[in-house]
Amino acid sequence: MHGKRTTHRILLCGPARHSVSGVATHLNQLFGSNLAQKYSMLQFQVGSEGRSEGHVMKLVRLLASPALLFVAILRYKPDIIHLNSSLDPKAYWRDLTYLIVTKTLGRKIVYQVHGGALPSAFLGSKTWQQSILRWTLNLPDVLVLLAEVEREAYRASKVGKNIRVIPNAIDLDEYSTDGNKDYNKRFIRLGYIGRLAHDKGIKESIQALAILRQRGMVYLRLYIAGSGPFEKALRRIVKDLRLECDVKFVGPVFGEDKIRFWRETEIFLFPTSHREGLPYTILEAIASGTPVVTTRVGGIPDVIQDGVQGLLLDVHEPKAIATAVETLVNNPERLRSMSREAMYRARNHYGIDRLARQFDELYQEILA
């Protein structure tokens, strides 16, 4: 005869953990944290990331997934469903079915939004559209956001009845350095790492480098790590600007290669215009002591204090990026100070232990 189960079960819904995405990274951190010692943590895989499937199989999976979640909940009897999503059309309508299934079975729901549009810009501005959105996001017991700016936007739209902000975190030990970045003018290494997409500010960074060369700053190099649909266009821009010797495409980097990339990068360029949540690359940058030139998008201003760990731009235009880089490069001591401040901020605010503690407190609260 089985005794009463004493360990609470958490069913985490998200992409395959081996896929390359911010949400997959988040799941791996939760599973790898001390939460896994306190709770029985399971996964229900959603989304196409990490899968190899054609259009027919994708359609079949989408149609069947609500029923599969229903079966998984009946089988594993989780106490909490932790649904990881983003506010974009595909994820929204898919996850609405998951919310309905979970509510029907009487389970507690943590609904975590990893970026996407803000409520005022989602579904449209008509009253009935916003009413649907409010109803959907009032279904969870807790709505988790990544940044304070998002909480303000959700409150302004009267969306979400119980909102918490829990920023992303990273394994600080992986990125820790001795803090001795050189910043001599013989050679300054600028870097970008991430998906090569049109709205990440990579093109503008390349154009900024061309402007800086015209200003006589010939000791700058830009290393671009990653892959994506914009790579061919970026290579063409580099060729057109005759920057083949100054811009290097190093491809995707993982493991030790990724750690080495951060240790060797002296300024991280991320003038994104994408609807970011809280990019892991920003956290990796500060953990490795790399000052950042970036934009006031999503949760980035929560992490980067302007003039302390880097510079925040109001626009992602090449001239603005060039001026920011020139300002920093001409003041090596300021860069060294930013490097130290970046590591200090990472250690005090963005470690996995903090993330695990906040989710533990959240789980305990809704289980009470």
Q: Between 194 and 161, whose confidence is greater?
A: 194
- Considering the domain architecture, whether residues 164 and 176 belong to the same structural domain is answered as no
- What mean pLDDT, rounded, does the chain reach? 91
In terms of residue numbers, what domain contains 42?
A: 9-169+351-367
* Residues 219/326, Cβ–Cβ less than 8 Å: no
Are residues 66 and 160 located together in one domain of the fold? yes
pLDDT of residue 61: 67
Q: Determine, yes or no, domain membership for 1.
A: no
User: Are the beta carbons of 190 and 303 closer than 8 angstroms?
Assistant: no
- 323-334 tens-digit pLDDT: 999 999 999 999
Q: Residues near 182 by Cβ (< 8 Å), separated by ≥ 6?
A: 266
Residue of 210, 329, 200 lying closest to 271 (CA atoms): 200
Beta strands in the chain (DSSP E): 9-14, 40-45, 80-87, 108-116, 142-145, 163-165, 188-193, 220-225, 247-251, 267-270, 292-295, 310-313
DSSP 88: S
Same domain, yes or no: 40 and 61: yes
Q: 3-state DSSP call for residue 192? A: strand
Of 192 and 58, the one with more pLDDT: 192
Query: Sorting pLDDT into bands at 50, 70 and 90, what band is 204?
Result: very high
Retrieve residue 249's tokens. Answer: 């495409």
Considering the domain boundaries, does residue 4 fall inside one? no
Is residue 215 a part of any domain in this protein? yes
Report d(CA 79, CA 306) in Å as an integer.
42
Q: Which of 94, 73, 71, 70 is nearest to 84 (CA)?
A: 94
**Closest C-alpha to 215, from 330, 332, 338, 336:** 330
Question: 128 with 196, same domain?
Answer: no
The three-class DSSP label of residue 157 is coil
Domain CATH number, residue 115:
3.40.50.11930
Based on the fold, state whether residues 244 and 141 are members of the same structural domain: no
Same domain? 51 vs 24:
yes
Residue 50 is predicted with a pLDDT of 53
Same domain, 148 and 181: no
Q: Are 345 and 286 in contact (CB under 8 A)?
A: yes
Exposure class string for 247-257: b at 16+ Cβ within 10 A, else e: beeeeebeeee
pLDDT in tens, 58-86: 676 677 899 999 999 999 999 999 999 98
Cβ count near 167 (within 10 Å): 19
Euclidean distance between CA atoms 340 and 179, whole angstroms: 7
pLDDT of residue 1: 40
Return the closest-CA partner of residue 212 out of 239, 235, 176, 185.
Answer: 185
Whether residue 267 is contained in a domain is answered as yes
What CATH number has the domain bearing residue 321?
3.40.50.2000
Determine what percent of the chain is predicted with pLDDT higher than 70: 93
Residue 12 has pLDDT above 50, yes or no: yes
Please name which of 149, 129, 15 lies closest in space to residue 83, comparing C-alpha atoms.
15
**Residues 246, 114 share a domain:** no
Same domain, 37 and 181: no
How confident is the model over 255-280, as a mean pLDDT? 93
Q: Per-residue pLDDT for 319 more than 80?
A: yes
Q: Band of the pLDDT at 142, cuts 50, 70, 90?
A: very high
Tokens found for residue 326: 């020139």
Q: What pLDDT is attached to residue 2?
A: 47
pLDDT tens readout for residues 97-112? 999 999 999 999 999 9
Could you tell me if residue 3 is inside a domain? no
Give the model's confidence band at 205: pLDDT under 50 very low, under 70 low, under 90 confident, else very high: very high
The verdict on 335 and 294 lying in the same domain is: yes
Domain membership flag for residue 40: yes
**For the chain, how many structural domains are there in total?**
2
Structure confidence at residue 304 as a pLDDT band (50, 70, 90): very high
Shared domain for 132 and 276, answered yes or no, is no
Taking the C-alpha atoms of residue 205 and residue 292, their distance in angstroms, rounded to an integer, is 13
**For residue 219, what are the contacts with CB-CB under 8 A and spacing of at least 6?**
185, 186, 187, 188
Within a domain: residue 129? yes
pLDDT of residue 63: 79
**Nearest-5° Cα angle at 36, 10 to 65:** 35
Q: Is residue 2 part of a domain?
A: no
Residues 114 and 257 reside in one and the same domain: no
pLDDT in tens, 152-178: 989 988 888 899 999 999 999 888 766
Distance CA 184, CA 180 (A): 12
Q: Residue 41, SS3? A: strand
**What is the separation, in whole angstroms, between the first and last Cα of the chain?**
27
